[in-house]
Amino acid sequence: MILQVCRRTLPSLSLRSRLKSFMSLMSMGGASRPPDSFPVRRALAWSLGVVAIVALTACSKKEAAPVALRPVVAVAATADGKTAQSSLPATIEARYSTPLSFRVGGKIIERRVRLGDSVKAGEIVAKLDPADNAKSAASAAAQLSAAQHQLTYAEQQLVRDRAQAQENLIARAQLEQTENAYAAALAQRNQAQAQAALSADQLKYTTLVADKAGVITAEQADTGQNVSAGQAIYNLAWSGEIDVVSDVPETTLGSLTVGQKATVTIAALGGKQFAARVREMSPAADAQSRTYRVRLTLEAPTPDVRLGMTADVAFAQAPASGASGPSDESTQAFTLPATALFHADKLPAVWIVKADGSLDLRRVEVSRYGERTVTVSHGIAAGDRVVWQGVHTVSAGEKVRVVAPLHPEDFAS
Cα Rg of the chain, angstroms: 46
Of residues 371 and 40, the one with the higher pLDDT is 371
pLDDT of residue 131: 94
- Burial letters 166-205, b for 16+ CB under 10 A, else e: eeeebeeeebeebeebbeebeebbeebbebbeebbebbeb
Q: With contact defined as beta carbons under 8 Å apart, do 382 and 77 qualify?
A: yes
Work out the average pLDDT over 279-297.
91
pLDDT of residue 195: 96
297 strand-pairing partners: 243, 277
User: What's at 297, amino acid-wise?
Assistant: T
Residue 300 pLDDT class (50, 70, 90 cuts) = confident
Question: How many whole angstroms separate alpha carbon 107 and alpha carbon 225?
Answer: 6
* Percentage of residues in the chain having pLDDT higher than 90: 48
The gap from C-alpha 162 to its chain's centroid, in whole angstroms, comes to 79
Question: How many whole angstroms separate alpha carbon 366 and alpha carbon 369?
Answer: 7
Q: With contact defined as beta carbons under 8 Å apart, do 231 and 106 qualify?
A: no
SS3 319: coil
Three-class SS of 328-361: CCCCECEEEEHHHCEEECCEEEEEEECCCCEEEE
- 320-354 pLDDT tens trace: 444 333 334 346 788 888 888 898 877 889 999 99
Query: Residue 322 burial by CB count (10 A; 0-12/13-18/19+): exposed, middle or buried?
Result: exposed
The gap from C-alpha 225 to its chain's centroid, in whole angstroms, comes to 33
- 81-111 pLDDT tens trace: 655 456 788 999 999 999 999 999 999 999 9
pLDDT of residue 319: 46
Instruction: Name the nearest CA neighbour of 119 among 209, 214, 207.
Output: 214
- 163-201 pLDDT tens trace: 999 988 889 999 999 999 999 999 999 999 999 999 999
- 121-179 pLDDT tens trace: 999 999 999 999 999 999 999 999 999 999 999 999 999 999 999 988 889 999 999 99
Q: With contact defined as beta carbons under 8 Å apart, do 107 and 231 qualify?
A: no
Instruction: Name the nearest CA neighbour of 245 among 313, 314, 304.
Output: 313
pLDDT of residue 404: 82
Instruction: Name the nearest CA neighbour of 45 among 66, 60, 56, 30.
Output: 30
Angle at 327 between CA 325 and CA 330, to 5 degrees: 105
Beta strand 400-403 with 70-76 is: parallel
